[in-house]
Amino acid sequence: MIEFNNVIKRFGSTIAVDNLCLRINTGEIFGLLGPNGAGKSTANKMLIGLLKPTSGSITVNSLDIAQHGLKTRKHLALVPQELAVYESMSAQENIVFFAKLAGLKGKELQNKTDNALDFCGLLDYRYKKVKTFSWGMKRRLNIACAIVNEPQIIIMDEPTVGIDPQSRSHILDSIQTLNERGMTVIYTSHYMSEVERICDRVGIIDQGKLIAVGTTAEIKSRLNNQEKIIVQTLDINYAALDEIKKLYGVENAVYNGYQLEIQTAAVKNNVLDALTVLAKHNVQLLKIELEKPTLEDVYLSLTGRSLRD
Amino acid sequence: MKAIWIIISKNLKHQLKSPIFWLILIAFPIAQLTIFSSLFSTAQVVEQTVVKLTQLYATDTVFTFDRFAIIVLGQFFLIGSIIASSYLVSEREDRTLMRTFTLPLTKAQIFSGHMLSLIMLLLLVITIIMIMGSLLFNVQWSANYLNLFIVTVLCAFLSSSFGFFISSVFKNGNMFGGIMSCTVILMSFLNGDMTSGKLLFRNSDFLTLNKWITSSYTGLNQGLGLRELALDITVIGALGLIFAGAAIALFRKENLHE
């Protein structure tokens, strides 16, 4: 089990992580969500020992990482956001180098290297230089280097950035397989669909503070009283849009690209009222959908819609 | 110890595979010595036929070529340290240094691995230059091989710790390469290597690493023992320790990997 106890991390006058209290259970896939600069990577880096907390403590299996850094790092591995592999070396040389440093040797080193290459779909490219790899292959190698010594806990910091859907799907399936083998996974991403697909629990962090934590269902239930009416239409006039916005229970209405999105507080008759207004203004309807709030809606409602740096 | 050796062997393997290593660190100094050697032999022939060379002058000329060889050696200690330690900057840029920090290793192990590989690489380069210098151009580095070994190890330590220190200061590879090259050129000017021994200002050579390296090798070349070279050796060792200390202090910083 991993515990962040009142962890604060300051960089000069900036507070990157503000009094973080979080528990991640053994064997779960925990999703860490947040805008850029929210403090996710800083939290991950503190856990792996790259950064030291300004105050507070982090424990891994009841061992304080400040006092037992080496011991805890034997059970942890990081898949960094950026590629961290030697481009001039082959895939196998990369994996073997990091595996040896992690303490593997002999037959075990050979077997686990083969397993990692196979697991990441790189067995056929083991002797090829990394600089000849596609971006997706490099990302998979980035993962292979981290999992080769089969750590108990793996921290994945946006491992699917900039890759094609096939590689992304492969990586997500791999994460689930690793988890089924007993690995605890901390998964940081901006892609809500990925988090919803693979994570057992999710934490949303913003401006260094943990603002929500729970299962995806629990988090989504925060907006349970809301729903979205999506109307596809070829055109709408501003008078109709204004009238809809003024309806009781309607929180917002936006028309964008032949699609009208009406955010409602799930009040009875909202759909009917909206349709009545559209009919009154002779708006031609193509399709109507009702949508329950997604994780992205909750995320945006908690972290706001303003752009971040 | 095993982890240190894994880092050393990986670094050495990488460097020895690099064409830059063989071209700049081995072929270039040998080419320089070849050019100097041909210039000196031509000069000797001219002197012998036209001016009637005295025995004393001939001895001076041989000594002067050895001096050039020592200057070349001194420069390649520093150039070698630039090329070898630039690898450390690229480790940081490629995030591979960060990945090693996430492994169950101490920073001391990682530092030692990189530092020792720098020293070993420099020793290899300098040994090759010395052997080629002796075999091809009859350079008399020293009659005492033990003293030569001690001085060479100390100079390799100084150059490596200097390179390590500078590579820990700069996060950008291009900036590092530029600054290091300028530093080496500046040192060569201050030491008089590029101005036929003329110093830019009084004692300007005291500010350079070349001065202490070339001075100790010149002493060895002239048959001096370690006792007579005590000042040079002490300065080389002390500067090496200062730069190594500064490099360790920078290496301990938590954001070094960024």
Is A106 in CB contact (< 8 Å) with chain B?
Answer: no
Tens-of-pLDDT digits for all 258 residues of chain B?
A: 888 999 999 998 888 888 877 887 788 888 888 887 777 666 555 555 544 444 444 444 445 778 888 888 888 888 888 877 788 888 888 889 889 999 999 989 999 999 999 899 889 988 988 898 888 888 888 888 899 999 999 999 999 999 888 888 877 777 777 887 788 788 777 777 666 667 667 777 777 888 888 889 988 988 888 888 899 999 999 999 999 999 899 888 877 766
In the A/B pair of chains, how many CB contacts fall below 8 A? 60
Long-range contact set of residues A276-283: C-beta below 8 Å, sequence gap at least 24:
A277/A240, A277/A243, A277/A244, A277/A247, A278/A231, A278/A233, A278/A236, A278/A240, A278/A244, A280/A240, A281/A236, A281/A237, A281/A239, A281/A240, A281/A243, A283/A233, A283/A235, A283/A236, A283/A237, A283/A240
The reply to whether residue A80 touches residue B95, judged by beta carbons under 8 angstroms, is yes
Is A51 in CB contact (< 8 Å) with chain B?
Answer: yes
Provide the residue ranges of all domains of chain B, joining segments of one domain with +: 18-252
The reply to whether residue B95 touches residue A98, judged by beta carbons under 8 angstroms, is no
Is B207 in CB contact (< 8 Å) with chain A?
Answer: no
Instruction: Please state the φ and ψ torsions of residue A33, each to the nearest 5 degrees.
Output: -115, 155
What is the pLDDT, as a whole number, of residue A38? Answer: 84
- Which of A174-178, A304-308, B28-32 tops mean pLDDT? A174-178
The reply to whether residue B99 touches residue A70, judged by beta carbons under 8 angstroms, is no
What is the pLDDT, as a whole number, of residue B55? Answer: 43
Q: Is the model's pTM score more than 0.90?
A: no
Residue matched to tokens 């400040």:
A66
The reply to whether residue B254 touches residue A86, judged by beta carbons under 8 angstroms, is no
CA angle B14, B15, B20 (to 5 degrees): 125
What is the pLDDT, as a whole number, of residue A192? Answer: 83
Q: Which of A70, A85, A101 lies nearest to residue B6, judging by beta carbons?
A: A101
| Confidence class for position A141, pLDDT limits 50, 70, 90 | very high
- The upper half-sphere exposure of residue A125, i.e. CA atoms within 13 Å in the direction of its Cβ, equals 20
What is the pLDDT, as a whole number, of residue B195? Answer: 66
Copy the structure tokens of residue B181: 């090259």
Copy the structure tokens of residue A1: 């089990």
Q: What is the mean predicted confidence (pLDDT) over A218-239?
A: 81
Q: What is the mean predicted confidence (pLDDT) over A13-32?
A: 91
Q: Which of B100, B102, B255 lies nearest to residue A77, judging by beta carbons?
A: B102
- If one compares B176 and A153, the residue with the highest pLDDT of the two is A153
Residue pair B15/B119 in contact (Cβ under 8 Å)? The answer is: no
Encode pLDDT of A293-304 as tens digits: 778 777 777 777
Residue pair A81/A43 in contact (Cβ under 8 Å)? The answer is: no
> What ipTM describes this predicted complex?
0.81
Whether the per-residue pLDDT at A155 is higher than 90: the answer is yes
Encode pLDDT of A41-83 as tens digits: 899 999 998 899 999 999 998 899 988 888 898 899 999 888 9
Helices (H), A102-164: 106-119, 135-147
| Confidence class for position A10, pLDDT limits 50, 70, 90 | very high
At residue A78, the 3 state secondary structure works out as strand
Q: What is the mean predicted confidence (pLDDT) over A275-285?
A: 87
| Confidence class for position A249, pLDDT limits 50, 70, 90 | confident
What is the pLDDT, as a whole number, of residue A12? Answer: 86
What is the pLDDT, as a whole number, of residue B57? Answer: 44
Q: In chain B, which among 104-133 make CB contacts under 8 A with chain A? A: 104-106
